[in-house]
Amino acid sequence: MTIHLRFLFLYLISFCLLTSCAVRKQHTLFNSPTDIVTDTIKQVYVVNDQGISDAYYKIKINDQLAIRNVQNFEFGANNNNTAGSATGGTNASVLSFQVETDGFVTLPAIGKVEVVGLTRREAALKIQDIYKQKLLKDPIIELTVINLKVTLLGEFGKQGNFLLERDNTTLIDIIGEAGGITKTADPKTLKIIRGDRNHPEIIYVNLNDINSLASKKLIMQNNDIVVLQQTKGQAISEKLQSANNIIQPLLVVINLAVLIFTLTR
């Protein structure tokens, strides 16, 4: 009976080793048939390449704009439309102004200003000039699009939504904001899901290779999803721990049965 138990234990260990890839896949969100490239990827590999996106975001309808005069933080505080920040980024709530369907945003004192199609800097300068002409002396307008975000899932220091508060925010900027990657992360398995959810662009990144950082694909875009898997070793460890939780009670019962059998012979 003892030999049978040893055989069973060895079989379970072998099974876990042989199925480690399947186990890790079960723990990963948004699996794709092309994920197999992570075993051989050198730097950056792109599936369904959509080209290089604009480095500077252009304002769209329904965007939420945080606009303030740097010289007077209280300016604009009479606006009652508030919006909280994303969970992983800046924690403070900010006052926001929504871009309407006609492409205009309505601001205190100066009324409607057309901003759709402008970069953040272009819109800020336009609004600054209008305030200077109509109301303020030498204003310095700061504009942020507060609804732009990326989502980090998996082996990061922090998971969740992170705001894209600046143009040209890179993958490394966001990972740094999330507190880096965990000790159990596999740096070769980072995946960015971008664009149309029905036919997304998938960007695989090997974080082990410093040359990966040169890729312009690592400039983050609104609504990017970034996923990082655990190592195969960690997947095996969790599988063994799960199997051990089942085997240990079973061994106690079997050992008790053997003891009773031995004593009653």
Of the candidates 194, 191, 156, the residue with the CA atom closest to the CA atom of residue 177: 156
Distance CA 265, CA 260 (A): 9
pTM of the model: 0.71
- 28 and 154 Cβ atoms separated by less than 8 Å: yes
pLDDT tens across 225-254, in order?
A: 999 999 876 555 656 566 566 767 766 777
Task: Label each residue of 73-102 as H, E or C.
Answer: CCCCCCCCCEECCCCCCCCCCEECEECCCC
Residue 88's pLDDT band (boundaries 50, 70, 90)? Answer: very low
The CATH number of the domain holding residue 118 is 3.30.1950.10
Q: Which range marks the domain in which residue 176 is found?
A: 28-54+148-229
Of the candidates 235, 237, 234, the residue with the CA atom closest to the CA atom of residue 245: 237
Q: Could you tell me if 49 and 152 lie in one domain?
A: yes
pLDDT tens across 167-194, in order?
A: 899 999 999 999 999 999 999 999 999 9
Give Cα 152 distance to the centre of its chain: 2
The structural domain count of the chain equals 2
Q: Could you tell me if 94 and 200 lie in one domain?
A: no
Length of the chain: 265
